[in-house]
Amino acid sequence: MSTYVYAITGATHPLRLDDLRGVGDPPSPLRAVRTEALTAVVSDAPPGLRAKRRDVMAHQGVLEALMADGATLPMRFGLLGPDDERVADVLGQEEPAYQQRLAELDGHVEYNLKAGRDEADMLRAVLAGSERARELNEVTRGGSGTHDDRVALGELVSHEVAARGEREAEDIVTLLGASATRATVATVGGNHFLNASFLVPAAHTAAFVQAVQAEADRRGGAYSFTLTGPLPPYSFV
């Protein structure tokens, strides 16, 4: 049977596993695969595993309990190894890298921030900042513009929206990065111009959340900030 891997910890982690429930229905007992310096928290992998809510929450619960007791490298849901022996082999082969990353993540949590801006507000900003965009907008709205004018306006607005979003995202990450140890930016989707994760010292989470709220307040109602966390530091593993 395959081995389901939840996380990697240092060998000195207390590993209080008795009261934790893993994936599967019924869940298999959690156990430790050990090397001299590292431990992988694992269980038997249930057949036909899918990302059902019960199993995703069970995975998350194991990670949160482990993180509460010490540095933990969280694995993403669904990570399987052929068996315990192969998992132990990988721990041994990658031991220096895992130890370094455990040291970096010790005492930290992750927050994810998504930010967007109202389309009408962004369009007003583009028109205010671009004389060419204003000219094309006036021509097309007046009815005298050609098809080429409409295409040019659309392309110009699209370019300006993307450029402004990139600048605003960079400004926000730089500002909030002062309250975090590390930050990483992911691909945006929908109406968001920012999708960033921050590695924050657990002792400073209140200050980080306050900094996010202050920036959201400063930018006003045209912006939407969605902060999720604290989370296991998946983005920094």
Residue 113 CB coordination number (10 Å)? 24
Distance CA 7, CA 66 (A): 8
Identify whether the C-beta of residue 31 lies closer than 8 Å to the C-beta of residue 44: no
For residue 28, pLDDT over 90 is answered with: no
Q: State the pLDDT at residue 125.
A: 78
Q: State the pLDDT at residue 233.
A: 87
What letter represents residue 165's amino acid?
G
Q: What single-letter DSSP state applies at residue 36?
A: S
Distance CA 198, CA 183 (A): 4
> What is the tens place of the pLDDT at every residue in 128-139?
777 776 767 676
Question: Phi/psi at 72 (nearest 5 deg)?
Answer: -140, 135
Nearest to 39 by CA among 99, 83, 80, 97: 99
Is the pTM higher than 0.85? no
Averaged pLDDT, 29-57 = 93
Identify whether the C-beta of residue 111 lies closer than 8 Å to the C-beta of residue 200: yes
For residue 145, pLDDT over 70 is answered with: no
7's tokens? 């996380």
Q: What single-letter DSSP state applies at residue 236?
A: G
DSSP of 185-221, one letter per residue? E----TTEEEEEEEEEEGGGHHHHHHHHHHHHHHH-T
Give exposure, 130-153, as e/b (b: 16+ Cβ within 10 Å).
Answer: beebeebbebbeeeebeeeeeebb
Averaged pLDDT, 38-45 = 96
Identify whether the C-beta of residue 201 lies closer than 8 Å to the C-beta of residue 181: yes
Q: State the pLDDT at residue 153.
A: 64
For residue 155, pLDDT over 90 is answered with: no
Distance CA 222, CA 235 (A): 28
Lowest mean pLDDT among 16-20, 150-154, 184-188, 201-205: 150-154
For residue 185, pLDDT over 90 is answered with: yes
Q: State the pLDDT at residue 84.
A: 94
Reported confidence tier of residue 2, pLDDT bands at 50, 70, 90: very high
For residue 76, pLDDT over 70 is answered with: yes
Averaged pLDDT, 138-158 = 70
- Residue matched to tokens 């998504």: 114
91's tokens? 């721990």
For residue 63, pLDDT over 70 is answered with: yes
For residue 227, pLDDT over 90 is answered with: yes
